[in-house]
Each structure stands twice: as C-alpha cells, then as structure tokens.
Structure 1
Amino acid sequence: MTAATEFAPAKINLALHVVGQEANGYHLLDSLVVFADVGDRVSVTPASAMSVTVDGPFAEGVPNDARNLVWKAAERAGIAAQIVLTKNLPHGAGIGGGSSDAAAVLRALGRPDLALELGADVPVCLKATPQRMQGIGDVLADVPRCPAFSLVLVNPGAHVPTPDVFRALQVKTNSPMKAMPTDGDWLAWLKAQRNDLQGAAIARAPVIADALAVLHDAVLARMSGSGSTCFGIYPDRIGAEKAAARIAQNNPDWWVTASQTVGAS
C-alpha cells in the first residue's frame, strides 16, 4: 500500500428505532444514518511496526495503542502502519467517531470486508452516504432520495457509555421506521420517527435535555445515536450558523458546530 489520508465524517442517526433484541444480547435497529461535513482525519503510512499518534482538539483521553479501533483495523488487515489520527470530534458522543476512524483506515487499506468485525457502526461508516441501517448494523440500504440537511451539532460534554444506555432501555421491541418518502416532505417524515434511546440516555445524563432545549428554534431537535450529541435541523446553512453562534456563546464549555449533511449521491 501507499500512504493515504482519509476523512472520517461524523455519523448522525436522524432516527433510531430499537425493534428487538437477539438471544445473544445484540439489539436490532432500524435507523436513518447520514454523514456530516465535519469529522476526524486519518493518515495511514506503511511502516515496520504499528504506531498511532493522536492530535487535534479532542486528542486527550484517546488511546494510542491496541485499544484504539484504528490500530485494530490495521491489525485485522495484517498491515503494520504509522497512523496519525486527528480528533476533531468528541469521543463517546453518539456520532460514530471511533467507528468512522476505523472505517477510514479500512478504506485506506482497501479492506472493507473487515468492517463488521470491528463494530456495529463500522459498516455504515464505510458507506459515508445516507443509509437505512437495520439488523445489528449489518443490513444496509442506500437511501437514494434523502436530501442534505443543515444542522447544528451540540455536545454538552457528557460521556454516556452505549452499553449502559441500552441496558437502561425499558422496552426493547418497538415499531420500525415508517416508509420513507419517495418525494415530498422529509422533515414531516422525520418528525414522525424517534430515537428510542433518547429517554434512557437523558435518565443517565440529564444535561442531554439541556442540549435539546437550546435547539428550541430548530425545525427538529433530537439526540443522535446513544448520546450525548444532539442535532437541530435548520432551514439553511445561514440559520444553522447563527444558531450555533448563539448556543456557543451561551455555553462556552460545550462543543457546538454548524454542519451540512451529505445528501444522496
């Protein structure tokens, strides 16, 4: 292989329905996943021995050894590499940071077949275009008419471990998403969907409710994944940037950014 640099975009669950649980404990999902124009960056260079260097605004606390998914991705591929990971996204935030980083390494190495071995979110992060994600994350379908959305992403700094949120979920079998629009009003459709993990996450980290509250002027506000990042959909990028500036000024310790999702290709 030659040296390669890959973008690892933030993964946003615009809707996330928990529709069942297998005997082995894995939860079955039905989710609309999109990707934002903000994310981490991963550089992979062939080397005689594995190494991971982490920099960027969220580097603190990110392991630089075999605990990191980028290391595991290269190791599974049987390739020693020098990996530089620039963390622009908060970790443990429900926006697929680690999974997207691992997917970026697999893209660089040309080994997409290893995705599911590294975690349920890695296969969808390999796609990086709007997807309906079902099963345990292994059943993916392109969403060809999904538009791009202007978002504000807000993370109040709470780390909510995903297994804890799933354990706290009282009802494991919920209704799947409704049929997606073929044309028409995607926002109306999204408003009729849910994130079934939102209540359980707020119970563990009440500050998530505060993050949703500051998105009061959004067309739709919801938590992504298992938290703690929340998103607000705004009519356009200018509106999103104004809202992000307001929220950041009032909450200087939070991660707040305006972004645009990638629409269907």
Structure 2
Amino acid sequence: MTSGATTDAAANSIAGEFVEEARAKVNLTLRVVGRRVDGYHDLESVVAFADCADRLTLLPGGPLRLRTSGPLADACGEVDDNLVLKAARLLAERVEGLKSGTFTLYKVLPVAAGIGGGSADAAAALRLLARANGLATDDARLIEVAGLTGADVPVCVPSRACVMTGVGEKLVALKLPKLASVLVNPRVAVATKDVFAALGLRNGELLVGVTDVIQAIVWPEDGASTGDWIEAFGSGTNDLEEPAKRIQPVIGGVLSALGECRGAKLVRMSGSGATCFAIFDDAAAAQTAAEKVRLAHPEWWVHAGSLS
C-alpha cells in the first residue's frame, strides 16, 4: 500500500484536483425478499446517508493509480483490489479516451462494516471521473459500471435517502428529515457473503410471503414529523441482524449498549453489520449517548451526527 502526502482530510486541494466526499450508507430497514435463481438476493431497504465520510480526490493526468492515507488507511488492504480502481477500470472500458489520473483516499470509515465504505469510495470515484470527463452521473455507462462494481455502489452514486429494491439497482427517492444519530462499530469485520450464507436461503427461495412481496411500501408523506418516520422505521426490521450476530456475537453487545442510552428511539444494525445505529430526538441526546458509549468502550468506533 502506498501512502499519499495528504495527512489531513481538511487540507487544501492542489490546483486542478477534484474532491468528493464518500458518505457512509445506513440501512434504516433491510428486508430480504428472497434469493433469486441466479443466487443474488432481492432486497427492500430504506437507505439514508450519514454526515461522516471518507474523502476522495482525483488529480487528472498520467496513469491510473490510488494512494491512501488517514487513520484507517491500513484497513484498505491491497490497493490493486480497491473498488476505486475497479470502478475506474470498468468505466475506461466503456468510455473511449477516459481521462483518469491519481486518486487519493483519506480513509476514516471502518471497512466490512455494513455502511458501504468501499462502495461509497467507488461511487465517489465515478462522480470524480464524471466531472473530469464531462459525463452526467446518470450516464448509462456510469450506471452500468456502478452495478458491476458492487451491489451498494448504485445507491451511493447519488448518496441521497431512498427506498432501494431489487439487488440494489432500483432507487426511489425519499425526503427524510435530518435524524440525530449515533453510529457504532466494534472494529470487527463482517463479510457480507458470510452473513447471507448464514441466512441460509436456497436459490429461488422466498423469505417472505407472496402477499408481502406485492404489498406496496407506504412511508410518511413529505413534511411528516421525525416521530412519524421513526415509528415507520420501527415497524420494519433488518433480516440480516440475527445471522450477523451468530457470526459476530459482539453485535448484540453493541445493540445493547445503544439501547441503554437515554433517548434512543430506534436501535438497529445497518447492512450486514457490524455497525449499529441509534436514532434520537435531537443532537444533544445523540452526543450524550456517544460519549457514554465511548467511555464504556474506548476500543469501538463511534460517530455522533445526523442521517439524511
């Protein structure tokens, strides 16, 4: 792994460099509808994005390469396997003369954490390449590459709250209010494929009944209160939570720690874990809860902020 010269995420970009934030993705609900005959899982998920993010820059010109820095750079693994480069290479195969260059990733989000860190980085790379090459972010070639790079990449390209269905490619925008929240990761990696394997669905098997599959999802209307949204989320679930806890029992401890915080209105795991979240009425309650969790578990990654 190479380390870039940038050591501060807030450092000024050099002339000609493009900058994008790669915001953490949070699954407020996640229902596994079933497993298709091709082995992929159909999902229904309400997705929001947090105000914590990796930072990706692109300096156009020269060969494609990636540098990493930041507090969690060592967790990125081999640079050649990074989804940033995968996305860039796939786009170059479809856009003749694509201008790339040097990407620099400042990594602060935990990896294999259920918050789409790598997917958000890849989506940021596609947005940067779109800007550098005069492409629209809804260009059919870019959208195709997003899906080929990873199931969570399409939702991370716009990074806006939505209902995500299919294998992650169908997105319907939602207008969420800002939700005060705390994200906690116990710094253990959880492989998505292992969690789906633990779910144990066979090809072609449905997890929910036919009536549930065809029933329309109804969410609060625009302008609804935070309480209405929290109540709606509470009627949902994350079907991957139980299999993930069997793989990493510490997830249960994270959920308990958040549930014990005063003012926690909803506590749930995001994605395939191990990151969990709690939603609060206001930012002050979220900050107090985060401080409590940090004090009790200084080894955990904790972020207090908002989802939208």
Pairing partner for 1:173 from 207, 211, 214? 207
1:4 is aligned to 18
2:178 is aligned to 148
2:157 is aligned to 126
SS in structure 2 at match of 1:60: helix
State the one-letter code of the partner of 2:300.
W
State the one-letter code of the partner of 1:254.
W
Q: How well do the aligned residues superpose, as a CA RMSD in angstroms?
A: 1.5
**Aligned counterparts, 1:165-204, within 5 A:** 165-170=195-200, 173-174=207-208, 175=212, 178-182=217-221, 183=224, 185-204=228-247
2:148 maps to 1:102: no
How many Å apart are 1:61 and its aligned residue?
2.9
- Which of these two proteins has the greater Rg computed from alpha carbons? 2
2:127 maps to 1:88: no
2:240 maps to 1:220: no
TM-score (structure 2 length as normaliser): 0.81
Q: Does 111-120 or 90-99 show the bigger shift?
A: 111-120
How many Å apart are 1:77 and its aligned residue?
2.3
Contact 1:73 1:105 in 2 (8 A): yes
**Cα distance in 1 for residues equivalent to 2:217 and 2:198:** 25
| Identical columns (%) | 41
Structure with the higher helix share, 1 or 2: 2
Contact 1:221 1:230 in 2 (8 A): yes
Contact 2:84 2:122 in 1 (8 A): yes
Deviation by residue 1:69-120 (Cα, 9 ceiling, x = unmatched): 0111221222442110011100000000000000001011115332111111
2:280 maps to 1:238: no
**Cα distance in 2 for residues equivalent to 1:192 and 1:65:** 41
**Cα distance in 1 for residues equivalent to 2:148 and 2:217:** 30
Given the superposition, is the C-alpha separation of residues 69 and 85 from structure 1 closer, same or farther in structure 2, using an over 3 Å criterion? same
TM superposition outliers: structure 1 runs of 4+ over 3 Å: 175-178
1:40 is aligned to 54
Report how many residues are paired.
260
SS in structure 1 at match of 2:172: strand
Runs of at least 5 residues in structure 1 that lack an aligned partner in the other structure: none
**Cα distance in 2 for residues equivalent to 1:187 and 1:65:** 39
Given the superposition, is the C-alpha separation of residues 64 and 158 from structure 1 closer, same or farther in structure 2, using an over 3 Å criterion? closer
How many Å apart are 1:178 and its aligned residue?
4.4
**Cα distance in 2 for residues equivalent to 1:249 and 1:77:** 45
2:80 is aligned to 66
State the one-letter code of the partner of 1:234.
F
**Cα distance in 1 for residues equivalent to 2:28 and 2:122:** 22
SS in structure 1 at match of 2:115: coil
**Cα distance in 1 for residues equivalent to 2:159 and 2:127:** 11
SS in structure 2 at match of 1:154: strand
How many Å apart are 1:63 and its aligned residue?
3.1
Contact 1:52 1:64 in 2 (8 A): no
**Cα distance in 1 for residues equivalent to 2:78 and 2:129:** 19
SS in structure 1 at match of 2:237: coil
**Cα distance in 2 for residues equivalent to 1:204 and 1:63:** 22
**Cα distance in 1 for residues equivalent to 2:28 and 2:249:** 20
**Aligned counterparts, 1:21-40, within 5 A:** 21-40=35-54
**Cα distance in 1 for residues equivalent to 2:173 and 2:123:** 17
State the one-letter code of the partner of 1:32.
V
